Amino acid sequence: MEMLREANQLEEKGKNIIHLEVGEPSAGAPSAVYMKAQKILDEKKPIPYTDALGISILRERISEYYKSSYDVIIPYQNIIITTGTSAGFVLSLLSAFDVGDKVAISVPGYPAYKNILISLGLNPVEITTNKNQKYQPTLIQIKKLGNIDGIIVASPSNPTGSIFDDKELEEITNYCDKKGIRILSDEIYHGITYEKKALSIAGISKSGIILNGFSKYFCMTGWRVGWLIVPDELIKPIEKLSQNLFISTNALSQMAAVDAFDCNDELQEIIKKYKINRDILIDSLNHMGISNIAPCDGAFYIYADISHLTENSMLFCKDLLNNAGVAITPGIDFDQTNGKSFVRFSYSCDEENIVEASKRMLKWVKQINI
């Protein structure tokens, strides 16, 4: 977040900045979502609290989505609407674990996992991953951890964009169920894949928790609507927690989100644009001598090894920002140990910005004689 803050400060001073540090779609919500929201607002009727678990019609549409997209039957009662996926994590962890429990996370990984775990009195157990294993934890690594109570997996992942091999994820999920390890699958980037579809643990795990939402694939970050798929025994605890912590998810956002499922063609066009951006950026990085990157099969990130250029990714990012006007994220945000020689690029912006950012970065690299 430090780079975002510094980039915004430079913009306030009049400097033109291209943002490749933010993991946020630039496209905006599907048109039908805006139309639905506007229709509701035009009626000028009160917009009240909803049920803490979410409105039934949205939960039912999500159930239909899993049937059509994954061929899995999920009763709508097991689907809980949350105030973004972030709230879903808090509710999941509070309901499924006790203070002092050990929850495994992979490194590099989304920093909020560790921060939330610690804030709730849980103990994060880090699994160091590398490119050879697609920056995903392996079953062998998990078995070596000993007694753990849970594990968080993400596929596609942030910051790498890597996707689990189906067989590996299925084996890990089955192992966790067998050993009583609660698996939490962060599937917020599902739908944003290029060469292969990401496997969901829905229909595989009997005790696992699935976290997803409308922010990434549906381009609705600011609408703050996520969902959980949970086993029966967690429905009531999560309902009670949600009533006390959040009351309910924004009613207007929930009602509008129902229509997002009718916008597949529009959303697939956005995915095509991401792929074009990814390919342009990979080619540009190769011309800069940055070719050791994670397998970016999904999401909209490139995680690049720049150890041949620097051992201080934060300084590298600051120099790039100040001298070229391009904001990227230092790897230490995702990996405190090895991230000093990595950076993350987000290509969720429009193609014009990707092309311009590539030109600026290449010029900067030549100027400093890297």
Percentage of residues in the chain with pLDDT exceeding 90? 97
Residue, of 114 and 368, whose pLDDT is higher: 114
pLDDT digits (tens, 9 = 90+) for 329-338: 999 999 999 9
* Amino acid 369: pLDDT: 64
SS3 68: helix
- Tell me the Ramachandran region of residue 180: left when phi exceeds 0, alpha when psi lies from -120 to 50, beta otherwise: left
Average the pLDDT over 53-58 and give the result.
Answer: 98
**pLDDT value for 330:** 98
In the chain, which segments carry CATH 3.40.640.10?
Answer: 2-29+264-367, 31-262
What whole-number percentage of the chain has pLDDT above 70?
A: 99
Which pTM was predicted? Answer: 0.95
Give the C-alpha separation, 199 to 258, whole Å: 23
Pairing assessment for the beta strands 226-229 and 79-82 based on DSSP bridges:
antiparallel
Distance CA 214, CA 261 (A): 10
Segment 202-211 shows an average pLDDT of 96
Q: Mind giving me the DSSP string for 252-320?
A: HHHHHHGGGGG-HHHHHHHHHHHHHHHHHHHHHHHHTT---B----BTTEEEEE-TTT-S-HHHHHHHH
Region 124-145: mean pLDDT is: 98
Q: What's the confidence (pLDDT) of residue 366?
A: 85
Tell me, what's the pLDDT at 367?
Answer: 84
Whether the pLDDT of residue 188 is over 80: the answer is yes
Q: What is the pLDDT averaged over residues 289-294?
A: 95
Please state, in angstroms and rounded to a whole number, the distance separating the CA atoms of residues 348 and 5. Answer: 19
Cis peptide before 30 (omega within 30 of 0): no
The tens digit of pLDDT for each residue in 79-90 reads 999 999 999 999
Distance CA 163, CA 160 (A): 9
Average pLDDT over residues 168-184: 98
Model pLDDT, residue 370 = 53
Token pair for residue 88? 């879903």
Distance separating alpha carbons of residues 320 and 344, to the nearest angstrom: 13
Mean pLDDT over all residues of the chain? 97
Backbone angles phi, psi at 126, to 5 degrees: -85, 135
Which two three-digit tokens encode residue 22? 């933010």
CATH of domain 31-262: 3.40.640.10
Local structure of 213: helix, strand or coil: strand
Instruction: Give the helix/strand (H/E) hosting 362.
Output: helix 351-367
pLDDT at position 262 over 70: yes
Residue 276 binned pLDDT confidence (cut-offs 50, 70, 90):
very high
Q: Which residues neighbour 90 within 8 Å (Cβ) at sequence distance 6 or greater?
A: 116, 120, 245
Query: Cα–chain-centroid distance for residue 110?
Result: 8
Taking residues 56-81, what's their average pLDDT? 98
Q: Which CATH number fits domain 2-29+264-367: 1.10.3480.10, 3.40.50.620, 3.40.640.10, 3.40.50.300?
A: 3.40.640.10
